[in-house]
């Protein structure tokens, strides 16, 4: 079976493979600037169908709820409190199964198109425990206990989705099991988007205050996401995202997002204005929604919010958090439109107030100050470009050890692609992942760090850590902590790479108020080889590819 063929780079791919790494990186970055990932349009239709499945599943569970109905009468029940609550619950279930963000070709997942439950229900697969090494709960391979608890979690989720109302007794098993699963495997907690959906379920426990509490949660998501974009990284995110957007694939339009295509691919002045304007919009409309009472100001803010999320969704960002954007929009209209008269500041339960301070302020503040200790998801630093990441360098064809030694539900991405494409197309698609990383501001650190990791980069297969996490763990969504030193150690215990056979470069995100990126280089067999810091300002002077000796951008 063939998939629609992507846009190939404007050069001979086989000749490209023979060039030195710096030349290959420059060519593929120039190709990304005009082509993006090269996604064929039928793939976008697949994602639209997936959104239809998401919305259809919600409608199904609502139709089985007394007092609601099917899609034909959605206007009558769409903003009922139980309908919104089940939308959140269904979103948590949908994501935790691996059906939401982190699925399909735009996350390097071709065959099968999801990971998620295919891994989480399979004993022996690799996992990342919160406390590695502890008896029973600290192993790095999934046990029968892990599988049983995950299955029980979904049994209780199913019961809740079919329940006539979401009482504390119905929600309690989910709220108990979700953190337990996160202790056993951090991937499970993050894949369920528990920092958002799980926090909303806690609000639902307080019958008199849940709408007010959920309002504060929604505002926290927007404001922390906007705050995280107040950095030097975000303009490059916009240029990379817009050069991949299906809406900008018109002639040479994408050139405007760069200073001087093809020689200077730093963000253009227009791109910087777009980035800052978007950040201002995201900072302004949430407080308006929070303090307005349903009048003209509320309507204007809701319209702004709708346009904001529509712009993000229509750009089809890598990682495709489309369902999350759908819920944010629906939640905004339910919370601030339908329930505009409910004040977010009249919460009677001190327990809920304490929880919201913890879940909507303290965790995010700590995550911004100490990013190495928190997932960017828990910190609500969404799509800001300030991410931890890693690059795995496999000598020769040693990445085949991942297939021969690990229990997985998917092969290496090049083997997945080989089911649908010829070798030239496979190489082209994988090279675009390298370009995606290099064109972000943080990614430019690689041109300084890769020579420190290996003496001959051309003798190694370059694999982004996101691809490794997707294949090994069954889920990936931009969190470099899922493919850092902990995963390397887990993989090494199973694969036993020789010294020099697998080297990794790990770059941590920038902490709030400190313009440095910590980094480390590790060998699978011998551990950390070197570490240090790179100035973010220094990276702004670089192109995505190494400059010739003695030259700067």
DSSP line for 122-155: STTBB---SSTT-TTT--SB--HHHHHHHHHHHH
Token pair 């993989």 is found at: 491
Residues of the chain with pLDDT > 70, as a percent, come to: 99
Of the pLDDT bands very low, low, confident and very high (cuts 50, 70, 90), residue 551 is low
- Cα-flanking dihedrals φ and ψ of residue 469, to 5°? -60, -40
Spatial distance between the Cα atoms of 421 and 428, rounded to a whole number of angstroms: 10
Length of the chain: 553
552, pLDDT greater than 60: no
Our CA angle for 458, 460, 466, nearest 5°, is 120
For residues 349 and 326, what is the distance between their CA atoms, to the nearest angstrom?
30
Residues sharing a CB contact under 8 Å with residue 268, sequence separation 6 or more, in sequence order: 239, 256, 257, 258, 259
What's the confidence (pLDDT) of residue 553?
45
HSE, CB side, 13 Å, CA atoms: give it for residue 20.
8
Alpha-carbon distances, residue 395 vs 426, 485, 526, 527, 531 (angstroms): 19, 18, 15, 16, 21
CA 296 – CA 182 distance, rounded (Å):
43
pLDDT above 80 (res 548): no
Q: 292: which 2 tokens?
A: 């307005």
Residue 83 CB neighbour total at 10 angstroms: 21
- Collect all residues with Cβ–Cβ distance below 8 Å to 402 and sequence separation of at least 6: 408, 412, 468, 471, 472, 491, 495
Task: Tell me if the bond preceding 264 is cis, omega within 30° of 0.
Answer: no
How do 502-507 and 516-523 pair as beta strands? antiparallel
- Whether 356 contacts 348, CB under 8 Å: no
pLDDT band at 101 (very low <50, low <70, confident <90, very high): very high
Q: How many CA atoms lie within 13 A of 45 on its CB side?
A: 5
496: left (phi over 0), alpha (psi -120 to 50) or beta: left
The mean pLDDT of the chain is 95
pLDDT score recorded for residue 4 = 81
* Contact predicate 238/274, CB 8 Å: yes
Dist CA 82 CA 453 (whole Å): 54
Q: What is the per-residue pLDDT for 1?
A: 57
Could you give the CA distance from residue 391 to residue 411 in angstroms, rounded to a whole number? 18
In tens, the pLDDT along 447-484 reads 999 999 999 999 999 999 999 999 999 999 999 999 99
pLDDT, position 2 = 65
Q: Is 171 a residue whose pLDDT tops 60? A: yes
DSSP state of 268: P
Closest CA to 478 of 199, 177, 240: 240
Cα–Cα dist 472/418, whole Å:
19
What's the whole-number mean pLDDT along residues 11-37? 95
The closest alpha carbon to 432, from 32, 110, 14, belongs to: 32
Q: Summarize pLDDT for 244-290 with one digit per residue, the tens.
A: 999 999 988 999 999 999 999 999 999 999 999 999 999 999 999 99
Confirm if 308 and 282 have CB atoms less than 8 A apart. Answer: yes
**pLDDT, tens only, 135-155:** 999 999 999 999 999 999 999
Using H for helix, E for strand and C for coil, what is the string for 240-251? HHHCCCHHHCCC
Phi-psi region of 108 (alpha: psi -120 to 50; beta: other; left: phi over 0): left
pLDDT beyond 90 at 533: yes
DSSP letters, 401-452, are HHHHHSB-SS--HHHHHHTTS-HHHHHHHHHHHHHHHHHSTGGGGHHHHHHH
**CA pair distance 430, 413, nearest whole angstrom:** 8
């Amino acid at each position: 079976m063939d998939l629609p063929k992507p846009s190939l780079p404007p050069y001979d791919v086989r000749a490209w493979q023979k060039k030195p790494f710096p030349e290959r990186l420059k060519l593929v970055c120039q190709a990304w600037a005009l082509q993006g990932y090269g996604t064929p349009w039928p793939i976008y239709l697949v994602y639209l169908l997936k959104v239809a499945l998401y919305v259809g599943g919600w409608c199904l569970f609502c139709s089985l709820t007394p007092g609601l109905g099917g899609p034909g009468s959605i206007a009558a029940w769409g903003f009922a409190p139980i309908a919104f609550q089940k939308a959140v619950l269904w979103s948590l279930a949908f994501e935790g199964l691996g059906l939401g963000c982190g699925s399909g070709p735009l996350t390097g997942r071709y065959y099968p198109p999801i990971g998620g439950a295919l891994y989480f229900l399979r004993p022996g697969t690799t996992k990342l425990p919160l406390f590695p090494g502890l008896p029973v709960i600290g192993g790095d391979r999934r046990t029968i206990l892990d599988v049983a608890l995950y299955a029980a979690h979904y049994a209780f989720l199913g019961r809740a989705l079919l329940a006539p109302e979401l009482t504390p007794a119905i929600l309690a098993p989910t709220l108990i099991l979700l953190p337990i699963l996160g202790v056993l495997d951090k991937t499970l907690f993050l894949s369920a988007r528990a920092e958002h959906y799980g926090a909303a379920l806690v609000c639902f426990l307080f019958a008199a205050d849940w709408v007010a509490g959920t309002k504060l949660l929604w505002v926290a998501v927007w404001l922390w996401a906007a705050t995280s974009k107040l950095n030097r990284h975000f303009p490059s995110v916009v240029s990379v995202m817009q050069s991949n957007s299906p809406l900008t694939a018109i002639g040479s339009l994408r050139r405007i997002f760069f200073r001087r295509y093809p020689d200077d691919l730093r963000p253009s002045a227009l791109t910087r204005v777009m980035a800052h304007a978007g950040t201002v919009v995201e900072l302004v409309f949430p407080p308006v929604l929070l303090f307005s009472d349903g009048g003209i100001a509320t309507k204007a803010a809701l319209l702004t919010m709708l346009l904001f999320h529509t712009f993000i969704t229509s750009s089809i960002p890598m990682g495709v958090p489309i369902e999350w954007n759908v819920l944010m929009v629906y939640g905004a209209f339910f919370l601030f439109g339908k329930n505009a008269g409910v004040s977010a500041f009249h919460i009677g339960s001190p327990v809920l107030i304490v929880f919201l301070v913890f879940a909507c302020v303290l965790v995010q503040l700590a995550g911004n100050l100490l990013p190495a200790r928190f997932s960017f998801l828990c910190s609500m630093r969404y799509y800001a470009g300030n991410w931890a990441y890693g690059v795995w360098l496999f000598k020769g064809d040693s990445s085949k050890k991942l297939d021969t030694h690990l229990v997985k539900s998917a092969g290496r991405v090049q083997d997945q692609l080989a089911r649908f494409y010829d070798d030239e197309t496979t190489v082209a698609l994988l090279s675009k992942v390298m370009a995606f990383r290099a064109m972000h501001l943080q990614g430019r650190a690689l041109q300084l760090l890769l020579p420190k990791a290996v003496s001959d980069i051309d003798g190694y297969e370059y694999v982004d850590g996101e691809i490794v996490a997707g294949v090994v763990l069954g889920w990936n969504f931009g969190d470099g902590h899922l493919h850092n030193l902990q995963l390397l150690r887990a993989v090494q215990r199973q694969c036993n790479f020789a010294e020099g056979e697998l080297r990794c470069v790990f770059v941590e995100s920038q902490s709030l108020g400190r313009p440095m990126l910590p980094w480390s280089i590790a060998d699978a067999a011998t551990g950390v080889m070197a570490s240090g810091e790179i100035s973010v300002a220094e990276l702004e002077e670089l192109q995505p590819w190494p400059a010739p000796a003695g030259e700067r951008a």
